[in-house]
Chains A and B, each alone.
Chain A
Amino acid sequence: EAGVAQSPRYKIIEKRQSVAFWCNPISGHATLYWYQQILGQGPKLLIQFQNNGVVDDSQLPKDRFSAERLKGVDSTLKIQPAKLEDSAVYLCASSLGRREVNTEAFFGQGTRLTVV
């Protein structure tokens, strides 16, 4: 079974530039998450989708971050304009998303963003 695919793996940009990350979840997974993980900290949930609807985006800095999940499959996360403090690993994860016990989420390898 293919895992969660993310691209690019690494990205270096200057502050005030824009950047986009792409995520392809596991086939059939209704729930998709984007996390930001700063070095030494736990992953911070930015946004959670259920199919193509937003379940939670309370921690997404909406003045500069945006995310979409067209057709309930692939998703993109964009930052515009980037700040130095956005340097982090951006992780995408997916899960079946049913209202059942199994909340196992599968993570991609992440995109390491460096803002200089």
Chain B
Amino acid sequence: LAKTTQPISMDSYEGQEVNITCSHNNIATNDYITWYQQFPSQGPRFIIQGYKTKVTNEVASLFIPADRKSSTLSLPRVSLSDTAVYYCLVPLWGNTPLVFGKGTRLSVIA
């Protein structure tokens, strides 16, 4: 399993764009990059997954450079409700153990 490294915490004001970068230097050819979000007192929730270039959904965008050794989760115009812990995972495929690291604690300030 590829080891991931991401910042422990980030602060942002409401309305700003937030970018959280994750490094995964030993990512394998078949690995996909997946991000989960966890609010206090809730289980993690899948938000986005990608293999290369850019993926966008209603929640976030995921940017992956050509070498795939890092990825950036982009949250546009954050609000207070985006305060959560964001985890970057690099699973292989369906049956690979889903291993979480410490995540990035995002605090959005009014």
- Chain A residues in the interface with B (C-beta under 8 A): 4, 31, 33, 35, 41-45, 48, 50, 55-56, 91, 93, 95-110
Contact = CB atoms under 8 A, between A and B. Distances in A.
B97 A102 contact: no
A54 to B, nearest CB: 11
Given A45-B99, A50-B95, A103 B32 contact: yes
B interface, over-half SS:
loop
Contact of B95 (A35, A45, A91, A99): A99
A103 B97 contact: no
Given A99-B95, A101-B49, A107 B100 contact: no
Contacts, number: 72
A39 B87 CA distance: 15
B43 A103 contact: no
B53 to A, nearest CB: 15
Contact of B102 (A41, A45, A105): A41
